[in-house]
Homo-oligomer: A and B are copies of this chain.
Amino acid sequence: MPAIYVAGVGCTRFGRLDASLLALLAEAAQQALHDAGVEEVDLIVVGAMNPEEFTGDGTLAPLFASFLGKAHTPAFRVETGTSSGAGAFAAACAAIAAGFARTALVVAGEKMTGLATPRVAEILSRMIDPTERRYGATMPALAAIVTRAYARAHHLDARALALIPVKNHRNGARNPLAHFQAEITVEDVLGSRLIADPLRLYEVCPISDGAAAAVLTAERRPVRVAGIGQGSDHVALRHRRSLTSFRATQEAARRAYAMAGVGPRAVQVAEVHDAFTPFELINMEDLGLAEAGKAVRALVKGETALEGRLPVNPSGGLKARGHPVGASGLAQIVEIVWQLRGEAGGRQVREPRLGLAHSIGGLASVNWVTILTRD
C-alpha cells in the first residue's frame, strides 16, 4: 500500500444523545475536516451497522453527503457489523491507494437509544448464526460462554476480571467524550446484576449514540496508516477452532503487522474491543501483546493502565466510552491519532510513536486491526 496519512479526526460525545444519526455524523465530520484544514474531499465512506432498523435511514451514504452539504461528493457505505467503522476506514484507504481518490472523509456512527432495549437486542442478534439464534442465543449469552471457557482455561477469578472495567472506567473518567465518566470499584463490578453468567452489568458495554470521523490523504502528514488487516471466522460459535481466542483477530493482526513491518513489541498504546470486558484479555493475547493466559498478569501489575508499559483502552474502551456500534471501530482509531499527536488531555499516555486499534464485528467473525505511526 502506498503511504496514506490521517490529516484530521473528530468524534462526538458518546452516550444517550438528543441528536439524529445524521447530525452526529455531521458533527464528527465537521470536526475532522476542520482539524485537517480541508473543505473538500474526493470521497466519503460511511460506516454504520444498521441505520435502517435503528433510525429508519436508508442509503445512508448519499443521505449523509446531502446533509453535510456535499451532495455531489461520491459516497458509499461499508458494513461489517460492530466493526463497520474500522471497515469504512480500510475501504477508504484502499480507494486512495487505488488512485480513486486523493482525499477521503471516513465517518461512522450509530444512533441506538431511540429504541427500547429489547428491540436493540433483537437488532444486534442478527449478528448471530441463525441456528444458534433459533436456540435462543443472545450476544451476551455467547460472550458468557467464551468468558467461561477462557476463565476456566486460565484459572481466572471474577476479582481479576473485574479489574478490566475498573481500569477502563478510570480512563473514561478522564475522557470528556465518554458515555460514563465515573470511576467504579471491584466491589461495584462484583455487586452489579448478572447479565449472562458470569458476565455482570459492569462487564458489558452500554447502548450508546455517537459518531467518529477521519480525513485521509495521500499527502504527507504526521500520522501515517502503517498497516491494516482483516480476519474472518465462522459466525457460528460451535464451528470455531477455539473458544478461548479469536482467530479473526489473529489473522487480522498477522496481516496488519506484516504490512506495517513491525511486530507486537512495537505497539506502545492500544485500543481493543472490550464490548464484553473479559475480551480485552483475549484480544491482547490474539494481538500478540501477551502470551496465552498471561494478559491478566499485565492487567494486575498495572502495565495496561494509563501510566503502564502498554496502556490499553486509554479512551475508556467500549465499556466506558460507550459503543454506538458502527462508530466504535473508527472512534478507536481517532483515539490512537490523538494519543500519537499528544492531544489526549488527561488520559494522554507517554509519547507513543506507534499505536494499534482492534475492532470486532459480530462475535469476532469479521475483525480489523489498524496500526498507526507518528513518523
Chain A residues within 8 Å of B, Cβ to Cβ: 1, 49-50, 52-53, 56-63, 65-66, 71-81, 87, 90-91, 93-100, 123, 125-127, 129-130, 228, 230-236, 239, 247, 251, 361-362, 365-366
Contact = CB atoms under 8 A, between A and B. Distances in A.
A228 B87 CA distance: 21
Contacts of A91: 76, 78, 91, 94-95
A236 B22 CA distance: 15
18 contacts: A50-B52, A57-B130, A58-B127, A59-B81, A59-B127, A61-B366, A62-B232, A62-B233, A63-B235, A66-B234, A66-B236, A71-B365, A74-B251, A76-B79, A76-B87, A91-B95, A94-B100, A97-B98
A58 B129 CA distance: 9
Most buried by B among A73, A91, A94: A94
Given A52-B52, A95-B94, A251 B76 contact: no
Contact of A52 (B62, B94, B126): B126
B129 A66 contact: yes
Given A79-B79, A234-B71, A365 B239 contact: no
Nearest to A95: B94
A346 to B, nearest CB: 35
Contacts of A53: 52-53
Contacts of A49: 58
B362 A62 contact: yes
A52 B94 CA distance: 26
Contacts of A235: 59, 62-63, 66, 71
A56 B126 contact: yes
A61 B80 contact: yes
B79 A77 contact: yes
Given A1-B100, A52-B126, A58-B81, A72 B366 contact: no
A239 B71 contact: yes
A99 B1 contact: yes
